[in-house]
Structure 1
Amino acid sequence: MAVALNMVAMKVAVLRNSMNSQKAGLIVGGVVLGLVFAGGTIALAFVGDLDGGTVAGWHTGDLLATAYAVWMLGWIFGPVFAGGGDETLRPEYFTLVGLRPRRLATGLLTASFVGPAPAVSLVALVALMIFGVRLGSAAPVVALPAMLLTLVIFVLLSRVAIAVLGLALRSRIGAIVAGLSNGVILAALGQGWVFFVAFQQAGGIPPTASAVLRYLPSGWGLVAVEAAAEGQWPRAAAALAAMGVLIVVLLAVWAVLLTRRASAARPSVRGRRPMRAASAQGAVVAKELRTWTRDLVRTHQLTFALAYAVFFTASPLFMGVDIMLPYTGAIFILMAAAMSSNLYGTDGTVLWLTLMTPRGADVRGRQWAWLLTVGPVGLALTIAGALITGGPWPVPLALTAALLGGGAGIVPLISVYALVPSIDPHRRGGNPLRSAEDDGSLTGLAYAVLALGGLTGVPAGLVASSYGWPGVVVGLVTGALCVWGFGALAESRLRSHGPELLQTMRTGKRPQSQSGRWKKFDDLPKRDQIIATIGWSLGAIPLFPQGIVAGVMKANGSTEKSWFLALHVPDPYGWPVVVFMVLLGIAMYGGALWVSYKPRPSQAGAEPVAKAA
């Protein structure tokens, strides 16, 4: 107990002393979004009547079982997209302390409950208590321990999943399997409305699916509450006991995995063909292509992007709708760009070697390598999807061409302008997904690439949806311009700020700008920090799902309205809503960009004073 309490105190101290305005803004945004989902989960507990427990064909218990299954999957697979999860206290820190694995695991587990994520999940689990109160009898007495045990299971499943994934990423097959499973699960979470509509068309969740949801660990607490309400006390006690046993087993498994994590991975001794290149740019291309095939983290990222794109666009097939299949390649390209957004940061301190590369050969070489790695797969997915559905052809091909060029241009550009200091590849710990010290910045960088990359496809998509094949030409032109223009900006930035980038990589701190124009987020006024946080975190909602995606669906005559506002509005007001949403998203990103980089009044007044002096 003393070890656990000490670890809790350590985590509180680390969080208190490492908190800055940017991290606080990300946490606040995440908490607000989490509370929205928690509120939705609690609302499900009030659905239906107490006799039948159904509403519009839906059983209240089934809805809660589905919601808690989604929460469990979020805990398990969320860290994949969030940089490896919360590891404020890493197991490697305690290697020399000599703690037994079970004791170390217990201490780390106790410290894991310090943070916003467990608190938000506990709020969502309040729905279990409300449901028990509505059922009456002694169900609320069982609901309280069921809530707490479910929360412990969520946290432990997350810890075990991260440990297993860390071991999987030590082999190529493991990295591919982990990328496939993670991509499929996260795509399923993103397309949850598809399954909702499919079940609604079927008149509710089928009995088989209902039983499966209760067999999952996330549904055991619900089983205990329902059994107590029916007076089946042996069944309720068995469900709670099973939760306790699962916690003990997961804790033991995590303790074993922690010992495996401390061991070093064996380096590959397989022979490699020598790299030959006739120019500096060719050498960079060869080096990057080999990195894409040898770095297991990059293998996992590409596999994840592929699995996510395929399953995301194939999910509507459950409703008999195949309209999204031709856009599989475009989504894959966007996800691949987001996953590789910190391209220069992942090099670590070897960035000094990059600075010795003649002129702009390094940027252009990386662009060619990225295109050769992502382009063929994205184009093949687009053609395959269009062939399966019989079209449309112009819009998917136009988006593929534009997004491919946009990704090749934005990835190196944003990685030199907003480089996130990362751990050197040879010093990665037992959690390879945690490649950067500040995972909040890394996640924000990925979302920024998704937003900016999506914007590069807007002109081609609009022209293709209105005029057909000329949009493909527009996509090729805009893609080529993005590669050339953004690449030139990245070259210029790398030449002029190369030493500063290396200093940032070595120390983890950005040097103070001499001009005073480019300010850190912490230096912004509080009002501008709020505007920037809201713009960067929420701008994608009106821009992409409510704007671009709704516009594409409306142009293709989709009859599925889902949650897209423009599809619910009667004609002829649908298109104005699409345009408004796109402009709103652009305005939110533009406002965040402006308040982040606009000259400050104090700076403008300082120049005359300096000249007078």
Structure 2
Amino acid sequence: MVAHFLRLKLTLLGNTLRRSVWQTVGLCFALLYALFVVGSLVIGAIVGGGMNPTVTGHVITLAGAVAVVCWWVVPVFVFGVDQTLDPQRFTTFAIPHRTLVAGLAVAGVVSVPGLATALAAGGSAFAWWREPWLVPVALLGAILGLASCVVGSRAVTTVLAPLLESRRYREVVAVVAIIPLVLIGPAIGWASEEIGAVSRETTDDGVTVSTDGSLLAAVVARFGELVAWTPFGAPWSLAAAVHDGAWGAAASRFAIAVGTIAVLWLIWSRSLAKALVTPPVGGGRGARSKGLGWFGRFPATPVGAVAARCTTYWIRDPRYAAGISIIFLMPVILWLPARSSGNLDVLLLAGPVVAWVLAFGVSNDVGYDYTAFALHVATGTSGRADRWGRALPVLVFGTAVVVLVAVLTLALSGRWDLAAPLLGICLGTLGLALGVSSVASAALVYPVPKPGESPLKSPQGAAMATMLAQTLAMLITVLLALPLVVLGIWAFASGSLLVGWVTLVVGLVEGALLLVLGIRMGARTFDRRAPELLQQVQSFP
């Protein structure tokens, strides 16, 4: 029966790939990327095991613990990632409960993350190649670690299934999940800089010398020892404990790993049994009407109607709210490298980046509309009304946000002398990027998460189309912004007040002209391709 689950999973995957060429291409790129990452990790583990097996053992423990945490936590935020074998579909089949649980557990490995984790776990065992008798111990730990990943992920999602069915929960979690994901990279970079700075000692003669990474190795060893006694790191630390001759610690960690899997299996089994008998029911009480909302604030015209609907999306749709959360985190993201380098001028990049992110947010508005775009086609909405209606909310509210971010970064860096050129670059970037997005959203449409889905979810087969469309729009934006950027750099380098004011004027004029030109070109493209756009959107998987 377990083999039947595997065949079923592979059959469903094959049917999905045959349905769309983009899904096949996306899966191939995902597999190639996963193989590259896994190969790099395995090679690093083998090389590290030959040089310093003790430190390598701690690194493997920490990396394995991070993998387990990701398997447990990510599905809570990225809901709906893999529902090819939804347990609810087996409710009417007389499948023994234990067989169902075992089949779902094994089938859970048949995915890009599952295969990547399995290969990385198995490959890391060969870090102990200098002492071959440790390789079987490491493989046993890898199997326990992989089981902890899969069973823990299933247990967490099954227990939280009733909560995950709540739309309000999904909307809040989708936005909140963006914050730690965005800050991971800057935080790691800042921590690396701090550790590197501490690991460089200054002698009495004022000469800076390196401690050869001894401090970093001590930090890794300390955290590795602590994590090894947790359910996340216990299975990955078995070989390291045996290598050190700590047989008691190895037995204790083995017991922790097995006990964790047993408890997770029990939780998953009971939660699944309950869910199959009383499945969660979505929905709930609808919110009471509170008037027309933004439709009552915009004029009763086609442009006003589209602008009101798009404004509502920007405020209430978590897919748009995720982009807004990144915008307000931008000063924090740039503050960490600026503080480490001692150059606060880096903060000034936040304004132009925020302007580009806001304007680029409407580059695939038609894709985000999904089937609701049929209303535009059925009512004969003109391209001019559609383009201006989508651009106005970003232009009005975006201008206020961009100016606010620019003023904040000027205050933090103390470079008020660069206020004029910075505002010119920010407002010019907002206008010209919004013009490019107005053309792109009528010419290039690619799959995005559907309404109600997590903004972190990437539709199968959308990777290549998304990358091509976004790269093309980005290159055009960079080329159009090049004269403005050159003026801004000149004003920054020379400190000339005249060049700064020229940059401000050029930014306002260029932004306004390219915005109007982009909306006109986008309107003509929209009028010509509206039925084709609707057909593309409705064909998205």
| Common topology (TM > 0.5) | yes
Q: What is the correspondence of 1:419-498 to structure 2 with a 5 Å cutoff?
A: 419-420=445-446, 425=451, 428=452, 434=457, 438-440=461-463, 443-444=466-467, 447-448=470-471, 453=477, 457-468=481-492, 469=500, 470-498=502-530
| Alignment partner of 1:316 is 2:337 | yes
Residue in 2 that maps onto 1:131: 127
SS in 2 for 1:385: helix
Match of 1:30 in 2: 30
How much does 1:306 deviate? 3.5
Q: What is the 5 A alignment of 1:254-403?
A: 256=271, 262-266=280-284, 268-274=286-292, 275-276=295-296, 277-303=299-325, 305-306=326-327, 309-316=330-337, 319=340, 321=342, 322-335=344-357, 341-355=363-377, 356=379, 357-391=381-415, 393=419, 397-403=423-429
In the alignment, the residues of structure 1 paired with residue 115 and residue 468 of structure 2 have an alpha-carbon distance, to the nearest angstrom, of: 26
Q: Which residue of 2 aligns with 1:149?
A: 144
Mapping for residues 44-63 of structure 1, pairs under 5 Å: 44-46=44-46, 59-63=55-59
Structure 2 counterpart of 1:567: none
Q: How far is 1:44 from its partner?
A: 3.5
**Paired residues of 1:394 and 1:464 also in contact (CA < 8 A):** no
8 Å Cα contact 1:44-1:127 kept in structure 2:
no
Match of 2:440 among 408, 414, 428: 414
CA distance in 2, matches of 1:103, 1:298: 42
1:550-565 aligned at under 5 Å gives the runs none
Aligned to 2:247: 233
Query: What is the CA–CA distance in structure 1 between the aligned matches of 2:364 and 2:285, rounded to whole Å?
Result: 24
- Contact map agreement 1:38 1:124 (CA 8 A) in 2: yes
Question: 185-194 or 499-508: which moved more?
Answer: 185-194
The Cα of 1:69 is off from its aligned counterpart by 5.6
Distance 2:7 2:487 in 1: 61
Structure 2 match to 1:5: 6
Residues 227 and 235, structure 1, Cα contact 8 Å, conserved in 2: yes
Q: Give 1:265 shift.
A: 2.9
Residue 400 of structure 1 and its aligned partner are, at CA, apart by 2.8
Q: Is it true that 1:140 corresponds to 2:135 in the alignment? A: yes
After TM superposition, give the deviation of residue 494 of structure 1 in Å. 1.5
* Equivalent position amino acid for 2:196 in 1: Q
Q: CA deviation at 1:261?
A: 8.4
- 1:404 partnered with 2:422: no
Identity %: 22
**Alignment CA distance shift 1:492-1:174 (3 Å):** same
Q: Which SS does the other structure have where 1:45 is aligned? A: helix
Matching residue of 1:609: none
Compared with structure 1, are the counterparts of its residues 64 and 313 closer, same or farther at alpha carbon in structure 2 (3 Å cutoff)? farther
CA contact (8 A) 1:462 1:471 kept: no
SS of corresponding position for 1:270: coil
Instruction: State the match for 1:195 in structure 2.
Output: 191
Deviates more, 1:35-44 or 1:447-456: 447-456
Q: Superposition RMSD on alpha carbons, in Å?
A: 4.2
* Amino acid across the alignment from 2:489: S
Structure 1 or 2, whichever has the larger Rg, is 2
Change (3 A) 1:45 1:200: farther
Q: How many residues align?
A: 499
Amino acid at match of 2:391: Q
Deviation at 1:61, TM superposition (A): 4.0
Contact 1:328–1:385 (CA under 8 A) maintained in structure 2: yes
- Checking the alignment, whether the CA contact within 8 Å between 1:47 and 1:60 is kept in structure 2 is no
CA contact (8 A) 1:346 1:435 kept: no
Counterparts in 2 of 1:40 and 1:228: CA distance versus 1, 3 Å: same
TM-score, length-scaled by structure 2: 0.75
Per mean C-alpha deviation after superposition, the further-off stretch among 182-191 and 163-172 is 163-172
Q: Deviations over 1:173-212 (max 9, x none)?
A: 7634542343323431366444323222222443665556
Displacement after TM superposition at 1:423 (Å): 7.6
What is the aligned partner in structure 2 of residue 221 from structure 1?
A: 235
Pairwise CA distance, 1:394: 6.2
Residue 349 (structure 1) shift? 2.0
In structure 2, distance between residues paired with 1:28 and 1:116: 10
Shift in Å at residue 227 of structure 1? 0.9
Q: Output the CA distance in 1 between the equivalents of 2:128 and 2:232.
A: 16
C-alpha change, 1:361 and 1:485, in structure 2 (3 Å) is: same
CA distance in 2, matches of 1:78, 1:169: 16
Q: Which structure 2 segments of 5+ residues have no match?
A: 200-214, 493-499
User: What corresponds to 1:40 in structure 2?
Assistant: 40
| Aligned residue identity for 2:337 | P
Give the Å deviation of 1:496: 0.7
Q: Select the structure with the greater relative contact order (CA < 8 A; seq sep ≥ 6).
A: 2
**How far apart are residue 365 of structure 1 and its match?**
0.8
Deviations 1:530-575 (A, max 9, x none): xxxxxxxxxxxxxxxxxxxxxxxxxxxxxxxxxxxxxxxxxxxxxx
Is the CA contact (8 Å cut-off) linking 2:64 and 2:145 kept in structure 1? no
> Which residue identity does 2:374 align to in structure 1?
W
Could you report, residue by residue, the CA deviation over 1:252-307 in whole angstroms, capped at 9, with x for unpaired residues? 6667497798521325413322223242212221222122223244334433x236
Instruction: Specify whether residues 174 and 23 from structure 1 end up closer, same or farther in structure 2 by C-alpha distance, changes over 3 A only.
Output: closer
For residues 248 and 239 of structure 2, the distance between their equivalents in structure 1, rounded to whole angstroms, comes to: 12
1:111 is aligned to: 107
Moved more, 360-369 or 286-295: 286-295
2:410 and 2:143 mapped to 1: Cα distance? 49
Inter-CA distance 339–369: structure 2 relative to 1 (3 Å threshold): closer
Cα offset, 1:317, TM superposition: 5.8
What residue number does 1:179 align with? 175
* Equivalent-residue separation in structure 1 for 2:249 and 2:482 (angstroms): 56
CA distance in 2, matches of 1:398, 1:4: 60
Give the drift of 1:346. Answer: 2.1
> Are the counterparts in 2 of residues 160 and 253 from structure 1 also a CA contact under 8 Å?
yes
Q: 1:495 Cα shift?
A: 0.7
Q: How does 1:547-586 map to 2 (within 5 A)?
A: none
Q: Residues 484 and 506 of structure 2 are in contact (CA less than 8 Å); yes or no, is this contact kept in structure 1?
A: yes
Q: Residue 424 and residue 213 in structure 1: after superposition, are their counterparts in 2 closer, same or farther (change >3 A)?
A: closer
1:171/1:296 contact within 8 Å kept: no
User: Structure 1 residues 151 and 165, CA, compared in 2 at 3 Å: closer, same or farther?
Assistant: same
Letter in 2 for 1:343: D
CA distance 1:315–1:162, shift in 2 (3 Å): farther
SS of the residue 1:360 aligns to: helix
More off after superposition, 239-248 vs 197-206 = 239-248
Once the two structures are TM-superposed, the CA of residue 347 in structure 1 deviates from its matched residue by: 1.7
